[in-house]
Structure formats: structure tokens, C-alpha cells
Amino acid sequence: MQRRDFLVAGSGAAATLAIGRLAQAQPGAAELPAALTERGSVMPTRGRIVRNSLPVNEGAGELRYRTPFRFGMGGTQIGNIFEAISDAQAQSVLQAAWDAGVRYFDTSPFYGYGLSEYRLGQFLRSKPADSYIISTKVGRVLKASKGPLPNAALWASPAPFAYAYDFTAAGARRSIEDSLQRLGIPKIDIVFIHDLSPDNSELDKPWQAYFSIAAKGAMAELTRMREEGSIRAWGFGINTPNAAVLAAESDVPTPDIVLLACQYSILDHQGTLERTFPALQKKGISVVVGTPLNDGFLGGRTRYHFSDQIPAGAMEKRARIMAVADRFGIDVRTAALQFAAAPSIVSAVIPGARAPGQVRANADSMKVSIDAEFWATLQREGLIARSAPLPA
């Protein structure tokens, strides 16, 4: 993941005060209390809650497909990303999400090598199949392994599987069949082709070569499965926009929806607004925003997009947004989640959670009223783009 510089316009007395007030909390993360950098910690939701339920989408409009639910939950944490959680904790997180009204769950065979899918399936088996939607992914086919598992630094105590990349039609169908077995439930709604992206250093050929394979293979097969009624929609799940934009601008099967991770947040959104969203909009392709909190950075973590390498200026920009949020009586996570959900092209935002309190706080953030002057202030201070869609 390339580091990005964040230009921070001006200084601002409020931002300086916010940094100074909390400077002793943690070296290198001056504006945050140390407790909020721990895994599983919760930044309290601030503001006036005015909704009783999570927001939903009213039809697809001009988009090819739109999820019915505008807020969901990402499944990396229940796949033991960076640190293991128990089966019981995973189930308590999922129960907290369900109790908070979450009905869209995203997972992948890659997340803990099947562990995330298995845990999610365990939870959903008792729920009516028409009461929720699931997205999972293809591109890697799992196989049992007794040897050292790949990505040891990423997945703690994963299931005992390795994987091989396979973007062919047969590979996609096999991956979906395997996912259904692990989930143990009757349907998958959305399928994303996973990590077909130039930032994926595991690919042994340029990503464009695999895109060509996928165009005749996985993309064509997923189109057939959608037409058969086996799935509702398909697209890409990627950390860069390249494959989605190429698909939108080429004579290949057209995705219905794409999961854009690490690409649209209150901290970093200009490029996506200028290039990615317009390209997708022309084909009616909707977007699920992954990592809307920059992999927990906007929830208080000192990690940014799966790395401890924080882009230059990100700490300062976060502090300045926090200072403005404080003046308006809200927290930065609430602002970030509502901002990420605001564009009309966005179907849903899907922050993850490893503790019940996190998912409850995330859901509450979607129910808070934010004064329009808050957004106007961020625009005046150069903290968000003037062209950025704003929450109603």
C-alpha cells in the first residue's frame, strides 16, 4: 500500500488545542488517548440519535444493483485479522450487529482461510434466509494444508488451509460452492472477485494478465450465475480502482457492484470523486465502501490501511476533523461513517468490528443527526472536498 501525503490547510486554534490537550496520551498519536489505540476498544458515539433504525435503500434507481441495506459489517475481524478472537467472541460480535439492525454481512474465503465464513454461517443458520444478505469473494481457492500457512502476520490462528489463485470460470464456481459449504446456508447474494489489483504483490503476473483471464472466466461465469438466479450481483473487491474502472470502460462483462476498500473516506476521497465514481456511474455500477474508517484509524487506532505506516499529514488532519467534530458535539467516527455513505452511487458502508461495543457504536453513528454547518466548516477549512456529496 503506497503512503499518501495529506495536505492540511492552515493550522487552526481548535486543532492545536485538540493536539495539545491529549499530547501526553501516546507518543506518535498525540491527539488520541492511549486506551483508544487498543484492539477491541470503543470510541464512544457522541451526538443526538434521531433514528430508531439503520438507513435502507429504496430501490436501485439507475444503478444495476443496490443492496437493500445501507450499512453492513465487514468480516475480517471475525477471521482473526492481526489478532485471534474466540468463537464465542465472534458470535457475540455478530449478535450485537444483529441486535443493532445489521442485515448485510461481507466475508471472504481469504479472511482467516475460511474462518470468517464458517463463523458467519454458524450465526446465520438460525435466521430466515430472506432477512439478510451476504457478500463473499472468489479468486482464491482454498486447499487443506499441514505446512506453514501464508500471511502469518495478517491472520492469527487461521483455519488450516492454503490457497491458490484462480480467476477462471471453473475456479469461480468451485470457490462459491466451497463458500456455501463453509457457510452452511442456502444462498450468497453478492460475489466479488477479490484482490485483482496492482497492489497485490502475490500475483506472479501483471494484474492485467489475470484480468484478461477473469474477463473470459470468472466475470463471464458470474454473469451466467446472476442470470440463472444463483446470485443477485457480482463485481470486484479491490484496494485500488484499476480493475473496476477497466471493466467499466472496456467491452467485457459489466459488474453490478464493486467493493472499494481503502479508497473513499473522510480523510482521502478526492481521486475517487474525480475518476472512479464517474467511470462507474456511466455503467450504473454501485459501490460498497470498505474500510470507511481507514482500517480503524478514524476509530482511534494507530494503523492505517493494514499498516503501521501512517501517511504524512494523516495524524494532523484527523486531529483537525476531531476538533471540528468536538465543537459540534459529535465524534469523528460518526462523521466518517456518514460521510462515506453519502454519495448516491454508494450502496453501503461496511466497517468491521472485533468487539460487541464496536459494532454497536458503529451502528449508533448512522443514527446521529449532524448539523449541516459541520460539513460546511470542514469544507471552508479545506478538510473535505467541496465537490464531496454530503449527508442529508
Euclidean distance between CA atoms 128 and 368, whole angstroms: 29
Q: Which residue has the higher pLDDT, 298 or 324?
A: 324
Euclidean distance between CA atoms 28 and 14, whole angstroms: 19
Q: Which set of grid coordinates corresponds to residue 277?
A: 465514481
Euclidean distance between CA atoms 9 and 42, whole angstroms: 29
Q: Which set of grid coordinates corresponds to residue 161?
A: 488451509
* Mean per-residue pLDDT over the chain, rounded: 90
pLDDT > 70 fraction of the chain, expressed in percent and rounded: 90
Tell me the pLDDT tens digit for each residue of 8-47. Answer: 333 333 332 332 322 233 333 334 444 444 456 788 999 9
Euclidean distance between CA atoms 232 and 242, whole angstroms: 23
Q: Distance of alpha carbon 69 from its chain centroid, rounded?
A: 14
Core vs surface per residue 230-244: b (16+ CB within 10 A) or e: ebbbbbbbbbbbbbb
- The answer to whether the beta carbons of residues 153 and 88 sit under 8 Å apart is no
Phi, psi of 85 (to 5 degrees): -120, 155
For residue 190, pLDDT over 70 is answered with yes
Q: What's the mean pLDDT in 202-215?
A: 97
Q: What's the mean pLDDT in 82-109?
A: 97
Tell me the pLDDT tens digit for each residue of 323-360. Answer: 999 999 999 999 999 999 999 999 999 999 999 999 99
Euclidean distance between CA atoms 344 and 60, whole angstroms: 10
For residue 101, pLDDT over 70 is answered with yes
Euclidean distance between CA atoms 46 and 64, whole angstroms: 36
For residue 116, pLDDT over 50 is answered with yes
Euclidean distance between CA atoms 50 and 155, whole angstroms: 38
Residue-level pLDDT at 142: 97
Q: What is the pTM of this model?
A: 0.90
Residue-level pLDDT at 9: 35
Question: Domain 73-236+248-253, CATH 3.30.300.30 — does that match?
Answer: no
Q: What's the mean pLDDT in 240-258?
A: 98
Residues 18, 19, 25, 27: what is their CA dihedral angle, to the nearest 10 degrees?
170
Residue 195 pLDDT level (bands cut at 50, 70, 90): very high
Residue-level pLDDT at 204: 96
Residue identified by cell 487498543 is 38
Residue 254 pLDDT level (bands cut at 50, 70, 90): very high
Residue type, 268: D
Residue identified by cell 459488474 is 255
Domains in the chain: boundaries: 1-67+262-385, 73-236+248-253
Q: Which residue has the higher pLDDT, 176 or 313?
A: 176
- The answer to whether the beta carbons of residues 12 and 323 sit under 8 Å apart is yes
Residue 136 pLDDT level (bands cut at 50, 70, 90): very high
